[in-house]
Structure 1
Amino acid sequence: MMRTRFAPSPNGPLHLGHAYAALVAHDTARARGGSFALRIEDIDGERSRAELVEEFLLDLQWLGLEWDGAPIFQSHRLPGYAAAGERLKAMDVLYPCNCTRAEIAAAATKFGPDGPVYPGTCRNRHVDPTGAAWRLDTGRAMALTGPLEWVDEIAGRRDATPMIFGDVVLLRKDLPASYHLAATLDDAADGVTLVTRGMDLFPASHIHRLLQALLDLPVPTWLHHPLLVEPDGRKLAKRRGSPSLGDCRRAGEDGRAIATALREGRFPAGISLSQGIHQTP
């Protein structure tokens, strides 16, 4: 049976962009006789706010969405992230790094999907691992796995090119795991067979495919959907105050009518659907 998931982080209220992403995951599963999981990605330190979880549940119910099983919480999976980190260390594909963002920006000569590409400063030098981040030696990892592919339902078959990110952080100084490691492990643990998410995360699938190969995880198919964007072309974002679903719900608006409008491609004035995609080789 196919399985999708919607995985919001409780560091701010949900907005219409989240509603669209949840609808894609929910409706795809329902149309294909599959199941739909709700995962709360709540390991973002002090930014995660427990009180928002109940708001998320109310927002999704207000939209008319139902998930299968109880909500899943990343915060219950910290031992699994640590174990995966130790396994990767034993494979000699992780190394400690104490470089600051400013140091990386000053030394970087390339730019990737996340900005300046880490130049490998700590890769071949002794670094005290106490309080350090741990980076994936992408070149060494690819040498272990050999060439890899992954499939997106819209973009088709892709060669995995994780080198576009450089050596990404997998175990952060301030959090139990990075998005790349946690999301990859969680999707495997949750039995997700179709990863639906916005086009802005298209490049991340190159790294996730590599982690799946290193950790012997099942390989899903991906579906990167368009994004709802503001008039200036930027995606809707919590930090820029995009209208929240909770505000609309409390104002007495009809959530199911909003869901129908989103499904039919009818968006509020000033919001449009971006078809652009970052399709790396």
Structure 2
Amino acid sequence: MTHACPQSAFRFAPSPNGYLHLGHAFSALENERLARLNGGRLFLRIENIDVDRCRPEYERAILEDLTWLGIALEPEVRRQSEHFDDYAQALDRLARMGLIYPCFCSRTDIMQKIRERAFWARDPDGSPLYPGTCKHLPKDKIQERLEAGEPASYRLDMGKALNLIGYRLGWTEFGSGMVGRFVQASPQKWGDTILARKDIATSYHIAVVVDDALQRITDIVRGEDLFQATSLHRLLQSLLGLPEPAYHHHGLLRDASGQKLSKSLRAKSLRALREEGLSPKAVRAKLAPLPPLIAALQTV
């Protein structure tokens, strides 16, 4: 990605729910490399809306790891847990447009509903599309349940949203060999997705588009596992009148079995590699080639 942008801004946005691993390091270094090539600035965002799973000690470890790698970041750090009001304003705007509705269903409720069908479509993450159980509840029943304190998530009415947009939606992609290519968005693949959870008054999708706009991020560099989510993000950006960034989805680091490195699969952390004597220079050298980088990981 070498397009000209006079005030380019990039961001590295980890979640402090575990220690960073080499996959995170690659993404951070890709952001650093492309920010440098474009004469841009690189910001750190701490994506910690899940306050139960995210911990201060992991955030401190993130800062230590990035300092150890020698990645130059802008001094201001945005922490999502400090900006729930921003996300509430975005949700309120969508509500006033008639584009969200409360949903009282649990995961068990949804699974019981879809078992009635031989086949049920799933979203790009593999979750079953919402069957619309609460979508057409009478307003008085909704109000009654809310006033009784019944917890509700809030879902996007995808059909209404697409009808409101009414034009071709997409983004400019600079990753995966698609240098400056227009990608047609397909937000309908996500169905009536949750924009605010029962336990958390927002979601990743709302938070990330609001953050990118408020931080004036012009170039989003992230893993290809979020490629499909970009369709939904572009829809939300359009509905909320937010700027359209350029996107660069890079390949993912995988282990010898082909699994992407992840915290849940206990990928070895940068912290552990550092304790084993690996130097920042060695990490940068190993992560310099483009993914899949399986051979590089086997020699770390």
After TM superposition, the score normalised by the length of structure 1 is 0.92
Matched, 1:204 2:223: no
Structure 1 position 53, deviation (Å): 1.1
Q: 1:194, 1:223 within 8 Å by CA — same for their partners in 2? A: yes
Instruction: Show the 5 A alignment for 1:1-281.
Output: 1-108=7-114, 109-115=120-126, 116-126=128-138, 127=142, 128-129=145-146, 130-147=150-167, 148-154=169-175, 155=178, 156-265=181-290, 267-269=296-298
Q: 1:2, 1:33 within 8 Å by CA — same for their partners in 2? A: yes
CA distance in 1, matches of 2:173, 2:60: 32
Residue type at the aligned position of 1:124 = H
Query: SS of the counterpart of 2:256?
Result: coil
Of 49-58 and 121-130, more deviation after overlay is shown by 121-130
CA distance in 1, matches of 2:299, 2:97: 50
Q: 2:255, 2:297 within 8 Å by CA — same for their partners in 1? A: no
Q: 2:41, 2:74 within 8 Å by CA — same for their partners in 1? A: yes
Residue type at the aligned position of 2:122 = F
Report Cα offsets for 1:200-220 as digits up to 9, x if no partner.
110000110010111110010
Report Cα offsets for 1:120-175 as digits up to 9, x if no partner.
22111143344200000011011111121211113421222111010110011111
> Which is greater in Rg?
2
Residue type at the aligned position of 1:104 = I
Unaligned 5+ segments in structure 1 are 272-281
Residue type at the aligned position of 1:54 = R
Q: 2:157, 2:192 within 8 Å by CA — same for their partners in 1? A: yes
Hey, which of these two has a bigger chunk of strand by percent? 1
Q: 1:17, 1:236 within 8 Å by CA — same for their partners in 2? A: yes
CA distance in 1, matches of 2:260, 2:79: 26
Unaligned 5+ segments in structure 2 are 1-6, 115-119
CA distance in 2, matches of 1:68, 1:162: 33
Structure 1 position 270, deviation (Å): 7.9
Q: 2:99, 2:160 within 8 Å by CA — same for their partners in 1? A: yes
Report Cα offsets for 1:220-253 as digits up to 9, x if no partner.
0111000001223221110111000111223332
Structure 1 position 91, deviation (Å): 0.6
Residue type at the aligned position of 1:261 = K
Instruction: Provide the aligned C-alpha RMSD in A.
Output: 1.6
Q: 2:51, 2:81 within 8 Å by CA — same for their partners in 1? A: no
